[in-house]
Amino acid sequence: MHTHTINLLGAAPGVRHSLTVLQFGSGAGPKATIQAALHADEVPALLVAQVLRQRLLTLEAEGALRGTVQLVPYANPLGLAQHLLGTHLGRFDLRDGLNFNRGHAELAAAVQARVEGRMGDDPAANVARVRAALREAAAALPAETPGQDLKRRLVQTAIDSDIVLDLHADGEAAMHLYALTPQADLAGELGALLGARAVLLATESGDSPFDEACSRPWLLLQQALAPAPLPLACFSATVELRGEADTSHALAAQDAEALLQFLQRRGVIEGLPPALPVPRCEPTPLAGSEPLSAPVAGVVVFHAAVGDMVTPGTLVADVVDVESGALHPVVARSAGVLYARSGTRWATPGKRLGKVAGVTLARTGRLLSP
């Protein structure tokens, strides 16, 4: 195992944050990058990363790594250090209010300018050209703030990977994941291994999350550089490891094993993988994911649990008005699994209370949570 330490732009004299990247394997072969808790308060990811570190050390000692695995055991040291009046705030950068997993680099145009006219008929050679250009474009990303520096360092670390798994957790949630629509088969396979209850697909979420920074350039370049053959050479997914409070040694071990089996199926780890479990869901469009919002301010009382199947008309929650005592129902419009709920029970008007993996809505615009 090689440990790389990346010092981030300092926020003030005497203040130092750094990223740690653990590299397992020789650096050759297919490359996977797994990072934990870019939203720094989604701590089950940090726990899974610790199990992965131990398992990867063992696999490396056994000579079982055919490729290379980069593990970023805590992807957001800035967010890990953010506390306000006793509450840990790891989703947004307190310096500017920006979400740590939105607004990541979109490198397709810069790469296109570098490779246009140099593409040939050999898909593998085209992948190598595009990958080299991605590394160059990522290396040239500017940063003026510690938050921007963090984002570009993470992209620079992962950009030339064959597989990128960004580990998160939701407020209260069943296991679910997000990936690109054209990679539905791989997303379904990863979902089956993890026991995911929802696999949400989009060609663009509209928010430039980290997974799309790594995978989406390939999709855009495949279209822009046609007819030159260019496979989608990076599979990336945001994996939501249930709810933020779901820290369990047993679940962490189970989840780490599922992620390693996915790497084994992709040839990063030696050996014959066990049979794929029966998937617990079919992938559904992210545009069909129904956000359930609070109609008024009040106390949230849930009637449906995470993982419950709901249908149009299912009462998911009440919001209780604390002046009149009136109950305001929050009802599903879609059929599907209630895959996430808010982790808190006080609602302001419009607060996101839950998400249903439906198929009937066709939302447009920005499809992810704020």
46 versus 230: smaller Cβ distance to Zn ion: 46
Other Cβ atoms closer than 10 A to 15: 10
76 versus 148: smaller Cβ distance to Zn ion: 76
Does residue 355 belong to the site contacting Zn ion (CB under 5 A)? no
CA distance 191 to 262: 10
**Of the candidate residues 104, 152, 153, 168, the single one contacting Zn ion (CB under 5 A):** 168
Number of residues that bind Zn ion (CB under 5 A): 3
C-alpha dist (Å) from residue 320 to 2, 301, 330: 54, 8, 11
243 versus 336: smaller Cβ distance to Zn ion: 243
As measured in angstroms, the least distance from the Cβ of 117 to Zn ion is 39
- What is the token pair recorded at 254? 């189970």
As measured in angstroms, the least distance from the Cβ of 109 to Zn ion is 27
| Per-residue interface string for the shown chain with Zn ion, residues 28-47, x marking contact by CB under 5 A | -----------x--x-----
Q: Are 78 and 18 in contact (CB under 8 A)?
A: no
As measured in angstroms, the least distance from the Cβ of 153 to Zn ion is 18
Candidates 60-68, 168-176, 228-236, 327-335; binding stretch for Zn ion (CB under 5 A): 168-176
As measured in angstroms, the least distance from the Cβ of 240 to Zn ion is 7
Write the DSSP symbol of residue 181: G
As measured in angstroms, the least distance from the Cβ of 365 to Zn ion is 20
C-alpha dist (Å) from residue 240 to 45, 96, 181, 194, 222: 8, 25, 17, 10, 28
What part of residues 208-237 is at the interface with Zn ion (CB under 5 A)? none
Q: Classify burial at 279, counting beta carbons within 10 Å of its beta carbon; exposed 0-12, middle 13-18, buried 19 or more.
A: middle
As measured in angstroms, the least distance from the Cβ of 101 to Zn ion is 6
- What is the token pair recorded at 236? 């990336």
Residues lying near Zn ion in the complex (CB under 5 A) are found at 39, 42, 168
